[in-house]
A = this chain, B = another copy of it.
Amino acid sequence: MSTPEETSAEDAAWGEVTPEAARRLLVAAVDAFAERGYHATTTRDIAGRAGMSPAALYIHYKTKEELLHRISKIGHDRALYLLEAEADRDGTAAERLAGAVRSFVRWHAERHTTARVVQYELDALGPEHRTEIVELRRRSDAVVRRIISEGVRAGEFDVPDIPGTTLAVLSLCIDVARWFNAQGSRTPDEVGALYADLVLRMVGAPQRSQGPGVAQQ
């Protein structure tokens, strides 16, 4: 499913996971879950993809669900970190919202295989792990809602439905993971720039000129 270039881009996301064998197993699990789905994947498949024995897998992960939880936790932590870093910068609400969208979109494009697993296999998490992940998602939502609310209060944005617009902005960015194709015509940065512009329009922020004949103000 993923090309060698894509796989190495995905690999880079797991730098924090040690030892190396545990990292290799996570990368193998992401590929297997993305290709066949969580329920059709066995721990034996994952160990095989990582060039390891099932017994070696159990040293690092007790269950298949533990692998999914680890992937989901790292993915959601990263998404929240990226959003918070942009939200906490100096600048207008429009600059911070555009930065958050660019950064969040780039992550979902570059790590689209991981992001698909993280987004589509939530129901396979155990109850406790699911509660923890839902809380991380609630915090990501709150970061975006805060920037939009600040923009409205500052008179920069015109947003009749702040929770609904927050939901739509995050949904638009997350769905990049579904359609993004590393062999397609747009780079992650280009999609990020396009989406930052579209999101500023969604919140009614005055647009900068985008070329002859299309300036809005």
Please give the residue numbers on chain A whose beta carbons come within 8 Å of chain B beta carbons, in ascending order.
1, 36-40, 119-120, 123, 158-161, 164-165, 167-168, 171-172, 174-176, 178-179, 186, 194-195, 197-198, 201-202, 204, 207, 210-211, 214, 216
Contact = CB atoms under 8 A, between A and B. Distances in A.
A17 B28 CA distance: 40
Given A175-B175, A201-B204, A194 B164 contact: yes
A198 B194 contact: no
Nearest to A119: B178
A201 B186 CA distance: 23
A96 to B, nearest CB: 19
Contacts of A172: 168, 171-172, 175
A201 B178 CA distance: 24
**Interface of A: prevailing SS:** helix
Nearest to A184: B167
15 contacts: A36-B37, A37-B37, A38-B40, A39-B39, A40-B40, A120-B178, A158-B216, A159-B214, A161-B194, A164-B186, A168-B194, A171-B176, A172-B175, A174-B175, A201-B204
A165 B175 CA distance: 14
Contacts of A171: 172, 175-176, 178-179
Contact of A158 (B120, B164, B214): B214
Contacts of A175: 171-172, 174-175, 178
A161 B158 CA distance: 23
A210 B160 contact: yes
Central interface residue in A171, A202, A214, by most chain B CB within 10 Å: A171
A29 to B, nearest CB: 15
Contact of A201 (B38, B195, B202): B202
